[in-house]
Copies of this chain bind each other. A is one copy, B any other.
Amino acid sequence: MVDEEDVGGPPVGAVKSKKKSGKKSGGKSSGSGSSGSSSSSNPQIKPKCNCEQLQLVDCHLETKELWDKFNELGTEMIITKTGRRMFPTVRVTFSGAQSRVRYYVLLDVVPVDSKRYRYAYHRSSWLVAGKADPPAPARLYTHPDSPFTPDQLRKQVISFEKVKLTNNEMDKQGQIVLNSMHRYQPRVHLVRRMEGDTTRPIVDLEREQFRTYVFPETVFTAVTAYQNQLITKLKIDSNPFAKGFRDSSRLSDFDR
Contacts and interface: CB of A to CB of B under 8 A. Distances in A.
> How extensive is the interface on chain A, given as a class?
under 10
Nearest to A145: B144
A147 interface: yes
A226 to B, nearest CB: 35
A171 interface: no
Nearest to A194: B196
A252 interface: no
Interface in A158-200: 195-200
A224 interface: no
A10 to B, nearest CB: 44
Nearest to A195: B198
Interface string A119-156: 00000000000000000000000000001010000000
A195 B196 CA distance: 7
A102 interface: yes
A103 B199 CA distance: 11
Residue of A149, A195, A196, A199 with most chain B CB atoms under a 10 A cut-off: A199
A196 B199 contact: no
Nearest to A101: B198
B196 A197 contact: yes
Contacts of A195: 198-199
A197 B199 CA distance: 10
B199 A147 contact: yes
A198 to B, nearest CB: 4
Contacts of A198: 102, 195-196
Per CB-CB distance, the 7 closest pairs between chain A and chain B, nearest first, are A196-B196, A195-B198, A149-B199, A147-B199, A102-B199, A195-B199, A196-B198
